Amino acid sequence: MTLSQRTILIIVSTFIALLFILAVTSDIILLKSFTSLERVVVADNVQKVRNEIEEGYDEILASSHDFCRIIAAHGASSLNTIPASSLVSRHVDLVICFSDDKKVLSSLVVKRDSSNGAVYTAQTFEQLGEIIPLVNKASQEPLTGLVMVDGTPTLLSITPIADKHVLLMAGRYLDAEEINRITALTEFVFDLVPVSDGNNPHEISAALTSIAHGDENPVQVINKDTVAGYTLFKDIFDRPAFFAKITEERLLYKQGKASIIYVLSSLFVAGGVFCCVMLFFIRGTILNRLAALTQKMSVITSQSDIAGRLPVSEHQDELRDLAVSINCMLESLETAEKGVRESEERYRMLFERAPDAIIIIGLDGDEAGLVVAANQAAADQHGYSLDELCRLSIYELNTPETNKIAGDIFAKILGGEWVTAELWHQKKDGSQFPIEIHAGLIKINGKKYVLGFDRDITQRKITEETDQLHLEEVRQLNEELSRKAIDLAASNNELETFNYSVSHDMRGPLTRISGYCQLLLEDEDIVLDDYVREYISRIYESEKWLNDMIDALLHLAQLSRVEIISDCVDLSKIAEETLHELILENPDRPVKINIEPDVIVSGDPCLLKVCMINLLNNAWKYSSLKSVTEIDFGIDRNGPNRIYYVRDNGAGFDMKDAWKLFRVFTRLHDSSQFAGTGIGLATVQRIIFRHGGHLWTEAEVGVGATFFFTLP
């Protein structure tokens, strides 16, 4: 089936399906609506008939009141004096006056012949007298209801006259004449259908069931042309007596069906025209152009000419976009084919010129175990020509030891694993050499092969043996270096112990010398020459200087042994507190201080505080000869790492002597100008190094010095 045929079939099928859905929907919804409306109209008509029948009670009651006044004034016998024409004008067919003991005192009856109804007899009066016990004579309220008199329904009212001890019955026949009168008034034709205790017609039984379920005026569809409405009348004993049945033509229903048929016909005609127009449009604007594109594409496909192109229409629509897309696809295919050819050429060159050996081994049929392809490197590696190598089995290239494990290797490869192993092959001349293989399973045109990359590792094996010898030598050197490190640590420990012992042993003699010198200088009984007093003063000062040196050495040794406990340290706060104490000691000294706030580092709080105190004391001391002391502390962020600095505008020094600056007891300035022990900067260097940082300085004579340090 062509696309045109399928398109026509789809459009027609869709249209028929829509018509079917619309017809079903109309039948279900619209006809149901018309049926409901029809029931409402018929029920209203039935109610109108019922209202007209029940209005007869009002007329009978009005006439009963008039007759009661006549009887009350003139007695029960006065009823016989009323002419029958008075009953006809009042639409009353009978008036009977009963005594309390059911005797007929007087009566006035419109006579009916056999064609209009039964003539009342004594039995009829007796039947009416049975109703008397129902009347509550004390209430003086009339009783109304329906009675069947000789098979004729009769509207009846019973009015007690207490002072006369009589009952007045007035009634109207619901015979053919009354039915015709009501029909003329309401314009609705109806019938009275009696209700029996059993064997009722189906429609009466259905109407009784509907009334029992709360439907006052049930409506039933008799057939496709007629519909009937029912209203129930009960007798004076509250028993179902008869139905008033109205039968009407189903005009609304027929009009609804006619309207639906008209609408569906209109839709069918309009849909047919629409389908024809759409088919003509689709065939002219889409299908013909699509057929041309298909024909051109078939030519390109049959000739395998991907360089061909489809004609592109000038109209901006989907078919033009389709032609452009197909042309782009053909162009992409042409480019891809060219790329595949170039890729095949590149991989062929890569396969042939690869420095490592590449071998493809068959696994299926007659090719099992044979070398089906190899590159020139594989042939050269084994001493064969390329043609000779491709006629051999892999088992001929393996040594006997390798063939013993070849089965396990092939099993792993067939399981999907890429295997890397060191094996031994043999050359054409019979010599053996080690190789490293990396092999795995590949599939070409549904056949299984093993792709192997082989590398001659003879030189690597020689290198590994040589490296093993070198590693043994390095291991021996490391052991010797470890022993020397242990010896050096022991020596350093002994040296620290010696320094500590010497420092403490020197305390006693120095203390005695200091004490004797102080006694000689302070004793007034001893008379000393001036030059002797000067010598003793110099001995005393030298002892104090030497004692300070011992304290500095002990402090330096202690810094080398103390354990570092890392925490957050605020260097800005330490700088502020240190300089504040220095200013309090020299309140008259002009000072300009710049401290960068919130410089937080990680390190040992005690050691870093000693470091900052030494650097700031050093800056304070060497800038004491300036008119205004300037000291800065901050961070240099120009580099990749944070660099902290302490800068002063003091005496400075020559940078060629900077290497001496951090040595113990080494001073670059005269002690007469700047006092000190020469231990402070050595202490700073040891603290920074113990934290894993670096310390250096930049200075200029007479300009000042800057000490830089880093912390990890």
The pLDDT score that the predictor gives to residue 601 is 92
Q: Is the pLDDT of residue 256 over 70?
A: yes
Query: Pseudo-torsion of CA 512, 517, 522, 526, nearest 10°?
Result: 110
Average pLDDT of the residues in 603-632: 87
Residue that has been written with the tokens 């003793």 in this structure: 536
d(CA 645, CA 266): 100
The pLDDT score that the predictor gives to residue 492 is 60
The pLDDT score that the predictor gives to residue 592 is 92
Q: Is the pLDDT of residue 58 over 70?
A: yes
Confidence of residue 367 (pLDDT cuts 50, 70, 90): confident
258, amino acid identity:
A
Confidence of residue 558 (pLDDT cuts 50, 70, 90): low
Q: Is the pLDDT of residue 217 over 70?
A: yes
The pLDDT score that the predictor gives to residue 119 is 52
pLDDT in tens, 669-702: 555 556 555 677 788 888 888 888 988 999 888 8
As a whole-number percent, the residues of the chain with pLDDT over 70 amount to 84
Buried b (16+ CB within 10 A) or exposed e, 278-306: ebeebeeebbebbeebeebeeebeeeeeb
Question: Is the pLDDT higher at 663 or at 51?
Answer: 51
* 564-709, CATH topology level: Heat Shock Protein 90 (3.30.565)
Domain extent listing, the chain? 7-251, 354-448, 457-561, 564-709
pTM over 0.75: no
The pLDDT score that the predictor gives to residue 115 is 44
φ/ψ bin of 37: left (φ > 0), alpha (ψ from -120 to 50), beta (otherwise): alpha
Q: Is the pLDDT of residue 13 over 90?
A: no
Segment among 21-30, 196-205, 252-261 with least mean pLDDT: 21-30
The pLDDT score that the predictor gives to residue 630 is 92
- Yes or no: is domain 354-448 CATH 3.30.450.20? yes
pLDDT in tens, 479-513: 888 888 777 666 666 656 666 665 566 666 767 77
Of 162, 288, 216, 264, nearest in space to 49 by CA: 216
Average pLDDT of the residues in 110-135: 66
d(CA 485, CA 477): 12
Question: Mean pLDDT of all residues in the chain?
Answer: 80
Q: Is the pLDDT of residue 413 over 60?
A: yes
Angle at which helices 31-74 and 176-186 cross, to 10°: 120
pLDDT in tens, 148-190: 877 788 888 888 886 667 888 888 888 888 888 888 888 888 8
Q: Cβ atoms within 10 A of the Cβ of 676, count?
A: 16
